[in-house]
């Protein structure tokens, strides 16, 4: 019988390869691709750092004393852009030319900051998250009945990937502060997403083209992941069983759609967000079957490493986002293994 994988060891090994291949000590930024492609900029965009920030936040639970969260947030701070109407994080560092600001990039940082606050109670994390909430709310209007845009200044689309994490951030802030304004925001966004972007199966479409009132029907695992976790959070706050029932049905449908054939259906980081939803549900109902399904799919992925020790198909340029996503997946598996949930 094969020995079970040591997920802590897998996490540490991948982390070492990410730092070796992507981190640029002289510049003190990460690179976007390995190997670099023609036209790549000097530093990565913000999104890969969102992936690493969350991965390291989870990884700190298995690698005692690691300083990766603080170091990564220090790099993220270099993307800070204080311009009106509210300060937020730009897609590219202002000192290197700056970039557009995306509501979802900011929300992922806010969500992770709140996870840090929940464990440390350090007020700096709450301050960071409330600042991101203020920026996020500048993307809200009443067009199409509400909802958040995806990109600042671009009023073409409202996306599940900007509204789902917006719900999570608002609920986290409500749980931390008791301010019912946050709960009101979360409820409004939740109703908007379900009105426009819920699929007949109970998963979630990508976005609404506001001007054409046309829905982009692509289905990604991270969109379902945020809405799954949102339902469980709503249940934890309200004890309304309707939310839990919806979460359990969504989990079953997501398992069938995204984890069939024991393979991860899309970007590893998208799957990391989906796993967060499954984990939140498991902590409430104790049903670990979806965690085992994820484990099988992760094992399949990490059995195929590149010669550089990264995860993905050999011969392709490897983007940092899915590497950060796999790092989080391994960290989550390591935590579950440490807790005895997975052997």
Whether omega for the bond prior to residue 66 falls within 30 degrees of 0, making it cis, is: no
Question: CATH for 7-339?
Answer: 1.50.10.20
d(CA 303, CA 148): 39
Q: What are phi and psi of 214, to 5 degrees?
A: -115, 135
DSSP run (H or E) holding 24: strand 23-24
pLDDT of residue 274 exceeding 70: yes
pLDDT of residue 337 exceeding 50: yes
Taking the domains of the chain in order of start, what are their residue ranges?
7-339
282-311 average pLDDT score = 94
pLDDT of residue 339: 94
% of the chain residues with pLDDT over 90:
92
Q: What is the pLDDT of residues 125-168, one digit of tens each?
A: 999 999 999 999 999 999 999 999 999 999 999 999 999 999 99
58-72 average pLDDT score = 95
pLDDT of residue 23 exceeding 80: yes
d(CA 319, CA 322): 6
pLDDT of residue 313: 78
Structure tokens at 140: 């809200």
pLDDT of residue 317: 79
- Spatial CA neighbour of 281 closest among 228, 237, 202, 321: 228
Query: Residue 315 — pLDDT band, cuts 50, 70, 90?
Result: low
Structure tokens at 7: 């997920």
pLDDT of residue 1: 47
Instruction: Let me know: does 84 contact 145? Beta carbons within 8 Å.
Output: no
d(CA 92, CA 32): 11
Mean per-residue pLDDT of the chain: 96
Instruction: Let me know: does 280 contact 233? Beta carbons within 8 Å.
Output: yes
Within a 10 A sphere around the Cβ of 70, how many other Cβ atoms? 11
Structure tokens at 306: 């590149």
Q: What is the pLDDT of residues 182-208, one digit of tens each?
A: 999 999 999 999 999 999 999 999 999
pLDDT of residue 121: 97
Instruction: Let me know: does 278 contact 228? Beta carbons within 8 Å.
Output: yes
Structure tokens at 297: 């799919």
* CA neighbours closer than 13 Å in the CB half-sphere of residue 128: 23
Within a 10 A sphere around the Cβ of 17, how many other Cβ atoms? 20
Within a 10 A sphere around the Cβ of 303, how many other Cβ atoms? 9
Lowest mean pLDDT across 4-8, 81-85, 327-331 = 4-8
pLDDT of residue 48 exceeding 70: yes
Instruction: Let me know: does 244 contact 232? Beta carbons within 8 Å.
Output: yes
pLDDT of residue 88: 98
Query: Which string of DSSP letters, residue by residue, matches 229-258?
Result: HHHHHHHHHH--HHHHHHHHHHHHHHHHHH
DSSP run (H or E) holding 217: strand 214-219
pLDDT of residue 127: 98
Q: What is the pLDDT of residues 254-268, one digit of tens each?
A: 999 999 888 898 999
pLDDT of residue 2: 61
């Amino acid at each position: 019988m094969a020995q079970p994988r040591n997920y802590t060891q897998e996490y540490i090994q991948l982390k070492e390869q990410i730092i070796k291949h992507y981190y640029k000590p002289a510049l003190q930024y990460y690179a976007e691709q390995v190997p670099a492609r023609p036209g790549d900029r000097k530093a990565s965009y913000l999104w890969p750092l969102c992936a690493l920030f969350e991965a390291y936040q989870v990884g700190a639970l298995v690698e005692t004393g690691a300083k990766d969260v603080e170091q990564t947030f220090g790099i993220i701070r270099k993307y800070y852009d204080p311009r009106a109407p509210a300060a937020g994080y730009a897609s590219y560092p202002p000192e290197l030319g700056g970039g557009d600001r995306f509501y979802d990039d900011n929300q992922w940082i806010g969500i992770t900051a709140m996870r840090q606050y929940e464990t440390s109670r350090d007020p700096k994390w709450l301050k960071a998250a409330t600042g991101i909430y203020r920026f996020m709310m500048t993307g809200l209007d009443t067009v199409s009945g509400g909802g958040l845009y995806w990109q600042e200044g671009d009023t073409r689309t409202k996306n599940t990937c900007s509204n789902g994490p917006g719900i999570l951030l608002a609920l986290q802030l409500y749980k931390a502060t008791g301010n019912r304004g946050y709960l009101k925001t979360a409820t409004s966004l939740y109703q908007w997403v379900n009105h426009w972007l819920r699929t007949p199966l109970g998963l979630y479409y990508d976005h609404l083209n506001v001007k054409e009132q046309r829905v982009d029907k692509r289905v990604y695992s991270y969109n379902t992941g945020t809405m799954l976790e949102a339902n469980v959070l709503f249940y934890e706050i309200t004890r309304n069983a309707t939310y839990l029932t919806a979460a359990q049905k969504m989990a079953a449908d997501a398992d069938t759609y995204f984890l069939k054939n024991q393979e991860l259906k899309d970007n590893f980081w998208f799957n990391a967000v989906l796993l967060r939803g499954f984990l939140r549900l498991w902590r409430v109902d104790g049903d670990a079957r979806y965690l085992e399904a994820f484990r099988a799919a992760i094992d399949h992925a990490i059995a195929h490493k590149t010669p550089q020790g990264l995860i993905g198909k050999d011969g392709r340029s490897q983007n940092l986002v899915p590497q950060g996503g796999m790092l989080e997946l391994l960290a989550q598996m390591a935590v579950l293994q440490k807790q005895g949930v997975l052997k």
